[in-house]
Amino acid sequence: MESKHVNQQIAAMRQSFFDELEDQNNPNFVEEVFTMYFRDSTTLLETVEQAIVGANKVLNEINKTRQVLEKGNLEGTKAGIWEMRKEYDSLKAKLEPYFQLKQANSVPQEK
């Protein structure tokens, strides 16, 4: 019974907080903030996921090129460097939207 009362108090406090954020001039403020948050966070998460995959591809190409270089294969090393560059450029392109948002201060900073 006590737990139900505490949960009701918490719910009332949350509602009060949301009510304070909204005013007559902008009654949909909280909804707009959450809409922007979910839209932007989805985009950022997709960008980070792509970056992780891209970073792994770059790392794999670096390791392959290093192995070819250690074997003394100059042509294979040149081809590996070209592949590394291609994967690097792809990774950079995938991260560009994130950095643009960060530069515009749209990405939350950890304190």
Residue 24: inside a domain: no
Whether the predicted pLDDT of 25 surpasses 80: no
Is 75 a domain residue?
Answer: yes
pTM above 0.75, yes or no: no
Query: What are the residues whose beta carbons fall under 8 Å from the beta carbon of 64, sequence distance 6 or more?
Result: 80, 83
Residue 67 lies in domain: 30-103
Residue 34 falls inside a structural domain: yes
Cα 34 to Cα 40, 51, 61, 106, distances in angstroms = 10, 25, 40, 14
Tokens representing residue 76 in the block: 């294979």
Task: Examine residue 66 and state whether it is found in any structural domain, yes or no.
Answer: yes
- The answer to whether residue 99 sits within a structural domain is yes
What are φ and ψ of residue 72, in 5° steps?
Answer: 85, 15
For the ranges 42-51, 54-63, 101-110, the maximum mean pLDDT occurs at 54-63
Whether residue 42 is contained in a domain is answered as yes
For the record, the structure tokens of 35 come out as 């809409």
Domain count, the chain: 1
pLDDT digits (tens, 9 = 90+) for 49-97: 888 888 888 899 999 999 999 999 999 999 999 999 998 898 888 888 7
- Select from 86, 101, 82 the least CA-distant residue to 43: 101
Beta bridge partners of 23: 26
Assigned domain for 18 exists: no
- Residue 108, domain member (yes or no): no
